[in-house]
Structure 1
Amino acid sequence: MPKWTLTTEFKFEAAHYIKNYDGPCGRLHGHSYRVRIEAIAHRLQASQYCPNPVMVADFRSLRWAKRDVLKGGLDHCVLNEVLPEAYETTAEMIAQYIHDKTKKQLPEGVKLKVAVSETADSWATYEDD
């Protein structure tokens, strides 16, 4: 069975604090977040931008989080004010939030893997099974 993997990487700037954290991360501070998304499918699809079934997903759909917060993304926001209450603002939970919101925009059968970095050498990854 054929399989395609689409990978995109982007960044956004945002501030956050981790509730009840005993240390500097409990105070408001900012990061240059890096996000890597892998979308995997066994068949190609059309997208809202292209009617032909020639892609796993449209890169524009995968990169929504890098848009300005006023345009529906996460760039230049305070994550604690934007993410739903069910999501804490750790890298793990930000990865899950981006995964969950992106998954809703994709056709059935596309598997996602989302990695988020808030420092140059640390990543958190979330994927569903």
Structure 2
Amino acid sequence: MPWKLSTEFTFDSAHIIEGYDGPCGRLHGHTYRVRMELESERLRPSAHVRRGIMVADFKSLKWAKKDVDQGGLDHMFLNEHPELGDDTTAEVVAAYLHRETMRRIHADLEESDDGADLKLRVLLWETPESCCEYWE
């Protein structure tokens, strides 16, 4: 792939891993660190510039850092998220971040662009030492 767009951000959220026999089964929070890496074979227009000069807009990769009231995950109780529910492990959250980010990117594409060349990798740290990586 000729281009790779990378960005990192953090968001703070709380959760409970239902059924977990240990401290993670109790309410606790994390400052999640996220790294998004999006690869593409070509450049495209975005919602903010109509010329084909971007892999994607950085804004479309950073949506999750917004406050929960603005559609992000910051300061959210993750167990109340309709797509996560009681399954709030790093693995499940990373897969959700991937799925929702790709949905948002594809929503911004022109009708003639299926985005088949776009490849996204999501890295999610729950702690400075513990990371989950998800890609398709």
For Structure 1 versus Structure 2, the TM-score category normalised by the shorter chain is over 0.9
Report the alpha carbon displacement of residue 3 of structure 1 after superposing the two structures with TM: 1.3
Q: Deviations over 1:67-94 (max 9, x none)?
A: 0000000000100101514771111111
2:5 matched to which residue of 1? 6
Q: Distance in 1 between matches of 2:18 and 2:42?
A: 42
2:75 matched to which residue of 1? 76
Give RMSD over aligned pairs: 1.3
2:105 matched to which residue of 1? 106
2:51 matched to which residue of 1? 52
TM-score when normalising by structure 2: 0.89
Q: Distance in 2 between matches of 1:106 and 1:67?
A: 16
Query: Structure 2: where are the runs of 5+ without partners?
Result: 107-114
Number of aligned positions between the proteins: 127
Q: Secondary structure at the match of 2:92?
A: helix
2:131 matched to which residue of 1? 123
TM-score when normalising by structure 1: 0.94
The residue type equivalent to 2:25 in the other structure is G
The residue type equivalent to 1:17 in the other structure is I
Q: Deviations over 1:88-121 (max 9, x none)?
A: 1111111100000000122413110001001011
% identical aligned pairs = 50
Q: Distance in 1 between matches of 2:53 and 2:39?
A: 14
Query: Structure 1: where are the runs of 5+ without partners?
Result: none
Q: Distance in 2 between matches of 1:17 and 1:125?
A: 21
Conserved 8 A contact 2:10-2:32? yes
Task: Please identify runs of 4+ aligned residues in structure 1 that moved more than 6 A.
Answer: none
Q: Deviations over 1:4-41 (max 9, x none)?
A: 00000000000001110000001110000000000000
Q: Deviations over 1:25-71 (max 9, x none)?
A: 01110000000000000000111111111111100010000000000
Structure 1 residues 34 and 111: CA distance shift in structure 2, 3 A: same
Q: Secondary structure at the match of 2:56?
A: coil
